């Protein structure tokens, strides 16, 4: 049985493993896809301390993974379907799809969040045929084309700017009259001659035959509708926590895991870290801090059991 199993190998999970193994705990990370998490889809990160120049999301996460592996952390692939406590003082049991359950004395849940969908007609049909949720992955397919970016948060603002490397024009469509994203990102977008902002507006449908040929826009204040001919639609309207496999009793109304300031859940020995937990600020540096806090807390908990 492991001292500590960490579910998820994004910034929170990898940081938890780095702190856990350095505290002498026998650690295993279970990851569904490949290590790195959401940040792997981010072109450049310019607010992670220690990097004077912006660092690529892929590079930052590869370095974290390499650091964890160098310290001896084991990373295995698996799809976790349940986490349960055997008894109050007992170990935690992790159910895996198509595999034997694993047991650990402590568990840190760090499975992050997944991008939210708009839920408009045409979105599902044209995903991969003009509709995308990742500018780093798909931006280059739109060289010299016109695209729409939907959203008004940090991600939409950053990715709209990134897409001007390829697209001839980026229409940034936001449902309100002010952006949610950081001021520095707003200023960058407003100063970019290849970006046209379309405020107070929603995308009502995504249209085309074989692939996207346009979107139907609706102004929320005037009710006016118009068709905008574009070949790409990039959707960045936030994230939902990946908590579908967890008991409702651990979650709040937004389906985030409820934790105290030391990342303790309601179950002794079970912790949550990063974008999946209540009150997360959804920043890489904070996910790392959460992971470190949870691992130190797991160490303290295990030490207290031995007394
Ligand atoms: P977010 O901050 O939650 O913003 C989501 C945006 O999508 C909001 O502007 C929201 O509009 C809009 N939206 C939501 N549902 C919509 C719908 N159904 N139709 C149209 N628009 C919709 O999400 P995010 O931009 O993905 O960022 C997530 C978190 O990561 C944030 O906390 C952000 O600060 C953080 N982040 C940080 C960095 C960084 O530090 N470098 C980079 C990326 C992300 P309203 O504004 O009207 O609600």
Low-confidence ranges of the chain (pLDDT < 70): 88-89
Distance 156 CA to ligand 1 centre (A): 7
137 a catalytic residue:
yes
The whole-number pLDDT of residue 124 equals: 95
CA distances from 138 to 147, 153, 163, 205 (A): 12, 20, 9, 21
pLDDT of 197 reads: 98
- The pLDDT of residue 90: 83
**Residue 31, exposed/middle/buried by CB under 10 A (0-12, 13-18, 19+)?**
buried
Q: How far apart are CA 68 and CA 19, in angstroms?
A: 9
- C-alpha to C-alpha distance for 255 and 114, rounded to whole angstroms: 13
Question: Which three-class secondary structure state does DSSP give residue 27?
Answer: strand
Neighbours of 289 (CB within 10 A): 18
Among 138, 154, 275, 290, the active-site one is 138
Atom of ligand 1 nearest to the CA of 152: 9
Active site residue 288: no
Q: What is the pLDDT of residues 137-183, one digit of tens each?
A: 899 999 999 999 999 999 999 999 999 999 999 999 999 999 999 99
> Would you list the domain boundaries of the chain?
2-114+239-305, 117-235
Catalytic choice (137, 177, 224, 260): 137
Residue nearest to atom 32 of ligand 1 (CA): 282
* pLDDT score at 89: 63
Whether 171 contacts 230, CB under 8 Å: yes
So what's the pLDDT on residue 88? 62
Question: Whose C-alpha lies nearest to ligand 1, atom 34?
Answer: 154
The CA distances from residue 33 to 7, 10, 79, 116, in Å, are 11, 11, 9, 18
Asked about 260 being catalytic, the answer comes back as no
Q: What is the DSSP letter of 54?
A: -
Q: Which CATH class is domain 2-114+239-305?
A: alpha beta
Task: Given CATH 3.30.70.250, say whether it is the number of domain 117-235.
Answer: no
């Amino acid at each position: 049985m492991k001292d500590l199993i960490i579910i998820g190998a994004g910034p929170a999970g990898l940081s938890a493993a780095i702190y856990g193994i350095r505290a002498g705990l026998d650690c295993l990370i279970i990851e569904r896809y490949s290590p790195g998490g959401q940040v792997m889809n981010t072109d450049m990160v310019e607010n992670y301390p220690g990097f004077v120049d912006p660092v690529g999301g892929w590079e930052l996460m590869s370095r974290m993974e390499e650091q964890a592996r160098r310290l001896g952390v084991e990373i295995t692939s698996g799809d976790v379907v349940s986490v349960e406590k055997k008894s109050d003082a007992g170990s935690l049991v992790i159910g895996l799809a198509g595999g034997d359950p694993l047991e650990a004395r402590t568990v840190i849940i760090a499975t992050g969040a997944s991008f939210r969908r708009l839920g408009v007609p045409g979105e599902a049909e044209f995903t991969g045929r003009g509709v995308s949720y990742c500018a780093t992955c798909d931006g280059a397919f739109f060289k010299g084309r016109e695209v729409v970016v939907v959203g008004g948060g940090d991600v939409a603002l950053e990715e709209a700017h990134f897409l001007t490397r390829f697209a001839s024009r980026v229409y940034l469509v936001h449902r309100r009259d002010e952006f949610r994203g950081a001021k520095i990102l707003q200023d960058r977008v407003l100063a970019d001659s290849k970006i046209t902002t379309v405020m107070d507006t929603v995308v009502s449908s995504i249209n085309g035959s074989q692939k996207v040929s346009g979107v139907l826009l609706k102004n929320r204040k005037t009710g006016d509708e118009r068709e905008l001919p574009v070949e790409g639609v990039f959707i960045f309207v936030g994230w939902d926590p990946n908590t579908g496999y967890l008991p409702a009793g651990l979650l709040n109304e937004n389906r985030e895991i409820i934790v105290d300031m030391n990342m303790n859940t309601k179950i002794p020995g079970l912790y949550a870290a990063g974008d999946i937990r209540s009150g997360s600020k959804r920043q890489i540096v904070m996910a790392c801090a959460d992971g470190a806090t949870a691992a130190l807390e797991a160490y303290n908990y295990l030490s207290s059991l031995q007394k």
